[in-house]
Amino acid sequence: MAASLRLLGAASGLRYWSRRLRPAAGSFAAVCSSSVASKTPVGFIGLGNMGNPMAKNLMKHGYPLIIYDVFPDACKDFQDAGEQVVSSPADVAEKADRIITMLPTSINAIEAYSGANGILKKVKKGSLLIDSSTIDPAVSKELAKEVEKMGAVFMDAPVSGGVGAARSGNLTFMVGGVEDEFAAAQELLGCMGSKVVYCGAVGTGQAAKICNNMLLAISMIGTAETMNLGIRLGLDPKLLAKILNMSSGWCWSSDTYNPVPGVMDGVPSANNYQGGFGTTLMANDLGLAQDSATSTKSPVLLGSLAHQIYRMMCAKGYSKKDFSSVFQFLREKETF
Amino acid sequence: MAASLRLLGAASGLRYWSRRLRPAAGSFAAVCSSSVASKTPVGFIGLGNMGNPMAKNLMKHGYPLIIYDVFPDACKDFQDAGEQVVSSPADVAEKADRIITMLPTSINAIEAYSGANGILKKVKKGSLLIDSSTIDPAVSKELAKEVEKMGAVFMDAPVSGGVGAARSGNLTFMVGGVEDEFAAAQELLGCMGSKVVYCGAVGTGQAAKICNNMLLAISMIGTAETMNLGIRLGLDPKLLAKILNMSSGWCWSSDTYNPVPGVMDGVPSANNYQGGFGTTLMANDLGLAQDSATSTKSPVLLGSLAHQIYRMMCAKGYSKKDFSSVFQFLREKETF
Amino acid sequence: MAASLRLLGAASGLRYWSRRLRPAAGSFAAVCSSSVASKTPVGFIGLGNMGNPMAKNLMKHGYPLIIYDVFPDACKDFQDAGEQVVSSPADVAEKADRIITMLPTSINAIEAYSGANGILKKVKKGSLLIDSSTIDPAVSKELAKEVEKMGAVFMDAPVSGGVGAARSGNLTFMVGGVEDEFAAAQELLGCMGSKVVYCGAVGTGQAAKICNNMLLAISMIGTAETMNLGIRLGLDPKLLAKILNMSSGWCWSSDTYNPVPGVMDGVPSANNYQGGFGTTLMANDLGLAQDSATSTKSPVLLGSLAHQIYRMMCAKGYSKKDFSSVFQFLREKETF
Amino acid sequence: MAASLRLLGAASGLRYWSRRLRPAAGSFAAVCSSSVASKTPVGFIGLGNMGNPMAKNLMKHGYPLIIYDVFPDACKDFQDAGEQVVSSPADVAEKADRIITMLPTSINAIEAYSGANGILKKVKKGSLLIDSSTIDPAVSKELAKEVEKMGAVFMDAPVSGGVGAARSGNLTFMVGGVEDEFAAAQELLGCMGSKVVYCGAVGTGQAAKICNNMLLAISMIGTAETMNLGIRLGLDPKLLAKILNMSSGWCWSSDTYNPVPGVMDGVPSANNYQGGFGTTLMANDLGLAQDSATSTKSPVLLGSLAHQIYRMMCAKGYSKKDFSSVFQFLREKETF
């Protein structure tokens, strides 16, 4: 399907995403029943870097799991732990009426749901299907329609927070779907994340994540351009950051995640841009934002230029570095 | 002089600038001797919307003034108040050894200093000349050189904060010049502003202001693009703003000055983009940023595109609206 | 299908496309058997502004037609002319082993081929299916795969040239598909166009069209910016055009289709930008180019900015004007 | 002077400029009296890579020269040939009433005219001063004003064509100034160039050159993006170039100077981007275009992005390569 080709870029945009959140508004506090009374099994499809620790947090909360991953090895931990491993998404749907999918791309999600042995082949009426993959909101809406036809419920719930947050159960979930079902989704998501935010109709979870990352990319590049210009105009980097952060230039990228080495400790720029949120992953999320803007005919001048800049960086050796390395990319001096 | 032509655009970028500052770091607290003991007169050149209330705050603090403006009417208040009005910048320099200039463009500043009847014609050795105009840092450096030749001292000290802040004495001054002279400048600037920030060598005051405004423009347009995209993807504007502001998309434009009508009260977007910081003024500051980037060969991809966007808005009827009206500019629906 | 949503924008990008071609290289001369000996029927699906005159040219060359359009009225001409009108793409496939589809968007094309009553439901082994719609190359490849599974052959053959060229049989076809089948396609396409260009594997016909239009958009906007800047710098528009056209700035937009009123006769700029190639259609083709660039991870900095500029113009009342009206869009003076 | 700082970037933009011109319109044919009757001496200031061969062509036509260059060595050839070498621009002005200046930047031009020992110190009434430097049109206008005050005539006449064209006397001159004086200028310029184009009032010669180079940069980057996208979509580069060049995508960069290795012979892309027009020089001309656009408030969205792209390339090792190397810059594959 064409979508797959176009969206292949979105691969595992969620894997290492290490966004730091400001203190959560109370209204977003996560809810999680920790009663370990007999609970009905929960299906989990996609046990990658993120899915694995997420599923383990469900186990800790006493939920029996029905496991499936295209790579059998990915299921080993769970088999050893006595969880039930099956051989297809369809089999998961046969044995569980609450299923969480955590897949790297739209095409993988489409296959898990609509494929020959997909969930839809055996999904039970009334089942709750939660997709935590980061994909095109348009694909989420398509999946929701197909799920609805089967009398089941679909919600998109992409995450913020990387492997660390997945292990510690501190992810943020942005949830789109029918509001009446939000409480039911919250019961499970609250076991894996500290914040579960209801965003509106199906697809708005994806929309919220895409929007945040687009603005993040723009302000990060803007911060890098500004710091570089200021330095060349004779300003001390630390002083410039201080001035911006007490003024209207303030943004998360200048204050909490400054891209200039030496300005802050404990951020990727202080560690040769290791760790953090990879440039490739940001480029992929910007590709999703670009697709959404094109299909909704929304002008995104800075957003699409930011996409192109991260695209170029991927071809210049920055693909694995944190996305704040755009400062390094821009500051290289001209040679003669 | 070519500079003048190029910089004519910078006209009074400072006039209505209504940036809201976060609580100032203590280190930036303003100092102002309020002893009303006999003080030597202070020269003030440029009594426009900003200069007028600034000069009046100096009067309040007991400084006798030597006044000059190209428009005699602008001097009337001060004449009535018994201050001395003279007929040229040179005459000001003859009667005062501390002079503040507050002019709309580089060319006006060049004339006031280097013109036929300019300050330099009669400036006394050891005089302190403070230029609070917003102009090209390169011009500030040129003026500083010429002033130095005469044995006097020049500092650039552009302001943040609009007419309101000028009246209440709550401006922020970003000061560039010899550090030893900073205390002397602070004595006067502290009477007109609540924050006086030392930025480094001559020109860095201008550089700091230009850098902040460039990043501000980028994050404002980015916020407008993001809010518009999110709304078209089905998100509620208030909820989207809430999500961005608890996440890494957070910036001053999304949190303190949101451009979407209905999201916040007390900001220009809540009042049809009246008041605030005019689009033309932002376009002019971005023109200065562009010039500085070109002369220092600093890549500013988003910065120059932001410049072009505000340039276009000026030609589409937005010149007098607050710069957050870029949201309105982008959200217009396509017509068929 | 997600593709549909994303590509809905591509609507009828081909309808009025009035690109003027330079004298064709002989190698591209069209071939068309005009022998009126008994010919086997040709299926034609999509009888819109373009499909109608194209199909009539096939009739003129003696090909019996099997007609289908979602709008029965669109078939009337052909029914009156004694051609066979059927009630679904599947029925066309049952009665003809050579079929041409001419549809406005990817989703329409997907439905005509893969829908419940689509061509694939009854296509015969060995059939030749030619899609002249302008759609995402990725969709063309997907369709080709499905067609191949049925033992038939698929070729993409988007057109250049508008309704006028369609009537006079002077369209240009850019053809992608198995080279061995090109001659067979040429026999039919040669009856509707004066140039039939073989571009390579399936999808390359679409790629060629998208690439040409992206470069066209970039050079048109560049010409408009340049002419506007030159005029503001005091150059006479006609003289500037003359200088560019004898120099390295030369391009089709400056020489053959100049966007400045008064510089040339017989072009849209001489007629208030009426006729020509609509801004909306260019924006849609740029959307396809953007999608292709995103999925192939190709940096297109100017291409994506051109897309955004035409996107904005659509929302500023230019949607129906010729795409050269970008000059008018840019030259509006700033108001104060 | 601030202008100088800003324009330092313009350094020798003209040195290697190797634009290939299409057959000239007859109206632009150069005129040059080749009578070797006693001629009055011509002053020449600036004997660099371009000035040296230009001055020698004047000698060949029998004009005695009055020579000056800041680097005495640059005058040696002429001293040996018996021409008169003097020690300042002022001395040149004292001995010649027709003077040609060929300098690398605005600041050099400003010094040669307005400096302590500048031309204006001793220029004779009625003298004809022709500046062939490539500088900011605003600076040309300023110089013209000062020259006029002295009762002399100033014309700007920047050149196209590199060292080769300078040697063979095949440069193109774009001339701005009073039309009545054009014939007099043509007599001298016609000895050094094959085309002398009158562009209008003072500054329009510079404007014409800047405009052409901006459009050239835009269409070259556009061609590079398009060829790269097409190749990644499966098109053969030579075939794609052929299709573009028979269609509306046609431009000088795709047809005469194609940036893709293997598509054409005898262009920089066929020789690892050696020779041709250096990326740094293009970036400098784009800096001038940007300055002119900012001062005239002309939106140049693609023009300023092109400027930024060449700016970045200069910092990525492309500064000395031909400007068509932007294809190589863009096509680098993403690494993982």
Tens digit of each residue's pLDDT (9 = 90 or more) over D61-113: 999 999 999 999 999 999 999 999 999 999 999 999 999 999 988 889 999 99
**Rounded to the nearest 5 degrees, what angle is found at the Cα of D333, between the Cα atoms of D327 and D336?**
160
- A211 Cα distance to chain centroid: 12
Instruction: Check residue D299 and report its DSSP letter.
Output: -
Using the Cβ of C299 and the Cβ atoms of chain B, whether some distance falls under 8 Å is answered with no
Q: Which residues of C touch B280 (CB under 8 A)?
A: 334, 336
Q: Dig out the tokens for C96 from the structure.
A: 């003809």
What is the band of D14 on the pLDDT scale with cuts at 50, 70, 90? very low
Catalytic residues of A, by residue number, are: 209
Instruction: Check residue C177 and report its DSSP letter.
Output: S
Q: Is D158 exposed, middle or buried (0-12, 13-18, 19+ CB in 10 A)?
A: buried
Percent of chain A with pLDDT over 70: 88
Is residue C209 annotated as a catalytic residue, yes or no?
yes
Please report the pLDDT score of residue D89 as a whole number: 98
Query: Are the beta carbons of A234 and B203 closer than 8 angstroms?
Result: yes
Using the Cβ of C37 and the Cβ atoms of chain A, whether some distance falls under 8 Å is answered with no
HEC profile of chain A: CHHHHHHHHHCCCCCCCCCCCCCCCHHHECCCCCCCCCCCCEEEECCCCCHHHHHHHHHHCCCCEEEECCCHHHHHHHHHCCCEECCCHHHHHHHCCEEEECCCCHHHHHHHHHCCCCHHHCCCCCCEEEECCCCCHHHHHHHHHHHHHCCCEEEECCEECCHHHHHHCCEEEEEECCHHHHHHHHHHHCCCEEEEEEEECCCHHHHHHHHHHHHHHHHHHHHHHHHHHHHHCCCCHHHHHHHHHCCCCCEHHHHCCCCCCCCCCCCHHHHCCCCCCEHHHHHHHHHHHHHHHHHCCCCCHHHHHHHHHHHHHHCCCCCCCEHHHHHHHHHCCCCC
Q: Report pLDDT digits (tens) over B56-71.
A: 999 999 999 999 999 9
How big, in percent rounded to 5, are the helix, strand and coil portions of chain D? 50, 10, 40
Please report the pLDDT score of residue C21 as a whole number: 31
Using the Cβ of A335 and the Cβ atoms of chain B, whether some distance falls under 8 Å is answered with no
The secondary structure element, H or E, covering residue C154 is: strand C153-156
Q: Report pLDDT digits (tens) over D143-167.
A: 999 999 999 999 999 998 778 889 9
The residue among C139, C116, C145 whose CA lies nearest residue C8 is C139
Neighbours of A86 (CB within 10 A): 18
**Rounded to the nearest 5 degrees, what angle is found at the Cα of A39, between the Cα atoms of A34 and A41?**
120
A251/B215 touch (CB, cutoff 8 Å), yes or no: yes
Mean pLDDT of D294-302: 94
Q: Taking all residues of chain D, what is their mean pLDDT, rounded to a whole number?
A: 88
- D238 Cα distance to chain centroid: 32
Using the Cβ of D305 and the Cβ atoms of chain A, whether some distance falls under 8 Å is answered with yes
Neighbours of D183 (CB within 10 A): 10
Q: Which residues of C touch A315 (CB under 8 A)?
A: 299
Please report the pLDDT score of residue C167 as a whole number: 93
Of A280, A319, A334, the CB nearest to D314: A334
Please report the pLDDT score of residue D104 as a whole number: 87
The residue among D303, D281, D306 whose CA lies nearest residue D293 is D303
Of B20, B204, B256, the CB nearest to A234: B204
Q: Which residues of D touch A305 (CB under 8 A)?
A: 305
Query: Are the beta carbons of D105 and D135 closer than 8 angstroms?
Result: yes
Q: Report pLDDT digits (tens) over D245-272.
A: 989 999 999 999 999 999 999 999 999 9
HEC profile of chain B: CHHHHHHHHHCCCCCCCCCCCCCCCHHHECCCCCCCCCCCCEEEECCCCCHHHHHHHHHHCCCCEEEECCCHHHHHHHHHCCCEECCCHHHHHHHCCEEEECCCCHHHHHHHHHCCCCHHHCCCCCCEEEECCCCCHHHHHHHHHHHHHCCCEEEECCEECCHHHHHHCCEEEEEECCHHHHHHHHHHHCCCEEEEEEEECCCHHHHHHHHHHHHHHHHHHHHHHHHHHHHHCCCCHHHHHHHHHCCCCCEHHHHCCCCCCCCCCCCHHHHCCCCCCEHHHHHHHHHHHHHHHHHCCCCCHHHHHHHHHHHHHHCCCCCCCEHHHHHHHHHCCCCC
**Rounded to the nearest 5 degrees, what angle is found at the Cα of A139, between the Cα atoms of A133 and A143?**
90
The residue among A129, A262, A264, A271 whose CA lies nearest residue A202 is A129
> How far is Cα A143 from Cα A131, in angstroms, rounded to an integer?
10
Mean pLDDT of A111-129: 96
Q: Which residue has the tokens 């009539």?
A: C56
A330/D312 touch (CB, cutoff 8 Å), yes or no: yes
Query: Are the beta carbons of A302 and A320 closer than 8 angstroms?
Result: no
Using the Cβ of C320 and the Cβ atoms of chain B, whether some distance falls under 8 Å is answered with yes
What is the band of D31 on the pLDDT scale with cuts at 50, 70, 90? low
pLDDT for A147 beyond 80 = yes
Closest alpha carbon within chain D to A283: D334
pLDDT for D24 beyond 50 = no
The secondary structure element, H or E, covering residue D22 is: none
Q: Dig out the tokens for A143 from the structure.
A: 């999946």
Query: Are the beta carbons of A257 and A324 closer than 8 angstroms?
Result: yes
B228/A22 touch (CB, cutoff 8 Å), yes or no: no
SS3 D43: strand
pLDDT for D116 beyond 80 = yes
Please report the pLDDT score of residue D32 as a whole number: 57
Return the residue in B143, B297, B313 with the most chain D beta carbons within 10 A, the one to mutate for interface testing: B297
Q: Which residues of A touch D310 (CB under 8 A)?
A: none
Query: Are the beta carbons of D138 and D105 closer than 8 angstroms?
Result: no
Instruction: Check residue D302 and report its DSSP letter.
Output: H
List, in order, residues 6 or more apart from D81 with CB less than 8 Å away. D59
Please report the pLDDT score of residue D23 as a whole number: 36
> How far is Cα D326 from Cα D318, in angstroms, rounded to an integer?
8
> How far is Cα C73 from Cα C77, in angstroms, rounded to an integer?
8
Using the Cβ of B336 and the Cβ atoms of chain C, whether some distance falls under 8 Å is answered with yes
Query: Which residues in chain B land under pLDDT 70?
Result: 1-37, 333-336
Query: Are the beta carbons of C54 and C65 closer than 8 angstroms?
Result: no
B299/D291 touch (CB, cutoff 8 Å), yes or no: no
Using the Cβ of A263 and the Cβ atoms of chain C, whether some distance falls under 8 Å is answered with no
Please report the pLDDT score of residue D160 as a whole number: 85
Please report the pLDDT score of residue B2 as a whole number: 36
List, in order, residues 6 or more apart from D329 with CB less than 8 Å away. D224, D309, D313, D316, D318
SS3 D250: coil
Q: Which residues of A touch D305 (CB under 8 A)?
A: 305
> How far is Cα D307 from Cα B9, in angstroms, rounded to an integer?
21
Please report the pLDDT score of residue D26 as a whole number: 39
**C105 CA: distance to closest CA in chain A (Å):** 13
Query: Are the beta carbons of D225 and C217 closer than 8 angstroms?
Result: no
Q: Which residue has the tokens 């008994």?
A: C38
Segment A233-237 long-range contacts (CB within 8 Å, at least 24 positions apart): A233/B137, A233/B203, A233/B204, A233/B207, A233/B210, A233/B211, A233/B292, A233/B296, A234/B200, A234/B201, A234/B203, A234/B204, A234/B207, A235/B199, A235/B200, A235/B204, A235/B207, A235/B208, A235/B211, A236/B200, A237/A262, A237/A263
pLDDT for D37 beyond 60 = no
Please report the pLDDT score of residue B28 as a whole number: 57
pLDDT values of chain C reduced to their tens digit, one per residue, 336 residues: 333 323 222 222 222 222 223 333 334 555 555 554 578 999 999 999 899 999 999 999 999 999 999 999 999 999 999 999 999 999 999 999 999 999 988 889 999 999 999 999 999 999 999 999 999 999 999 999 999 999 999 999 999 887 888 999 999 999 999 999 999 999 999 999 999 999 999 999 999 999 999 999 999 999 999 999 999 999 999 999 999 998 999 999 999 999 999 999 999 999 999 988 889 989 999 999 999 999 999 999 999 999 999 999 998 889 999 999 999 999 876 554
Beta bridge partner(s), residue A85: A67
Query: Are the beta carbons of B283 and B251 closer than 8 angstroms?
Result: no
Q: What is the interface pTM, i.e. ipTM, of the complex?
A: 0.86
Angstrom CA distances, B286 to B13, B289, B301, B311, stand at 10, 5, 12, 9
Using the Cβ of C8 and the Cβ atoms of chain A, whether some distance falls under 8 Å is answered with yes
Closest alpha carbon within chain A to D281: A336
SS3 C322: strand
CA atoms within 13 Å, Cβ hemisphere of D253: 31
Q: Which residues of B touch A257 (CB under 8 A)?
A: 248
Residues of D (128-187) whose Cβ lies below 8 Å from C: 137, 160, 172, 174
Query: Are the beta carbons of D206 and D134 closer than 8 angstroms?
Result: yes
Query: Are the beta carbons of D138 and D288 closer than 8 angstroms?
Result: no
Of A317, A320, A334, the CB nearest to D319: A334
Using the Cβ of D307 and the Cβ atoms of chain C, whether some distance falls under 8 Å is answered with no
Of B25, B232, B250, the CB nearest to A246: B25
Q: Which residues of C touch D218 (CB under 8 A)?
A: 218-219, 221-222, 225-226, 302
> How far is Cα C13 from Cα C133, in angstroms, rounded to an integer?
9
Return the residue in A1, A6, A313 with the most chain C beta carbons within 10 A, the one to mutate for interface testing: A6
List, in order, residues 6 or more apart from C266 with CB less than 8 Å away. none
Is the Cα torsion angle D127, D133, D138, D142 positive or negative in sign? negative
Percent of chain A with pLDDT over 90: 80
Neighbours of A34 (CB within 10 A): 9
